[in-house]
Amino acid sequence: MPLSSVAAHVDERELPFYESVGNECSMFEHAFRQRLPLLLKGPTGCGKTRFVSHMAAKLGRPLFTISCHDDLTSADLTGRYLLQGGETRWVDGPLTRAVREGGICYLDEVVEARKDVTVVLHPLTDDRRLLPLERTGELLEAPDDFMLVVSYNPGYQHILKSLKPSTRQRFLALSFDFPPPKIERDIVARESGLPGEQCAALVNLAASLRAMKGQDLEEGVSTRLLVYCATLIAAGVPILEAARATLVEPLSDDADVQEGLMEAIHATFG
């Protein structure tokens, strides 16, 4: 399919809602059109997955999402022979489907993947754009509308779990962070249905909770958790109960840290 005809008349209102923060939408589109793979870096719950679904829908391409973990093998991506009705049949994995169908393949938390997975990605992420399927003997050439997107959270990185330079230098990379306050307020309001003013108070609170990151907290409170909190409040849950369940308990098990978080919450909501 010629790229110029890809999703020429998309109604933005029908796409998964994504509020852009900078130039990420145009960079994604350039990467797609120039057939370059993309790496998204950023903390948990800051909008990376939503961004990818929004862009896939905007470009009119199917999206194949894979959450990477220690046990994920290259066969989970490429496919395997399965016994079906007494016959052994090859079944494509999500990466192979994305290559065959011309879709967007999104590998979330790619640093969690084992080495054999990254090896499969190498010929796909340079100018060869090839996916060798050893088991079937095929060598698939990725079509123009195939794109590989991967993400990871640099905050969780440690020496054993980092991308090798030979892998990361195959990607364009974009950094994500929590959206600026006004944008985050709009996102939380739109996602939860809670009035903007109350969402603004939650976003202010998030700033003080995020300032506690590093002291005793591994990660600052995510936009996702703010949406949860606002959703509960909009559903009638008392603010302090909603805040404890969404902005305190998911962040820490330590009683002292929880107390510190609750203090900040009381300072905002009384």
List of residues contacting ligand ATP (CB under 6 A): 17-19, 21, 42, 44-50, 108, 153, 179, 187, 191, 223-224, 227
Q: Which is nearer to ligand ATP, 37 or 47 (CB)?
A: 47
Q: Which is nearer to ligand ATP, 140 or 242 (CB)?
A: 242
Give every CB contact of residue 32 below 8 A, 6+ residues apart in sequence.
Answer: 3, 55, 59, 104, 145, 147
Least CB distance to ligand ATP at residue 1 (A)? 27
Least CB distance to ligand ATP at residue 47 (A)? 3
- Between CA 39 and CA 29 the distance in angstroms is 13
- Between CA 33 and CA 28 the distance in angstroms is 9
Least CB distance to ligand ATP at residue 156 (A)? 10
Give every CB contact of residue 216 below 8 A, 6+ residues apart in sequence.
Answer: 252, 254, 256, 257, 260
State whether the Cα torsion 268-179-227-48 is positive or negative: negative
Q: Which is nearer to ligand ATP, 18 or 32 (CB)?
A: 18
Closest-by-Cβ residue to ligand ATP is: 47
- Between CA 142 and CA 149 the distance in angstroms is 14
Least CB distance to ligand ATP at residue 43 (A)? 7
Least CB distance to ligand ATP at residue 234 (A)? 13
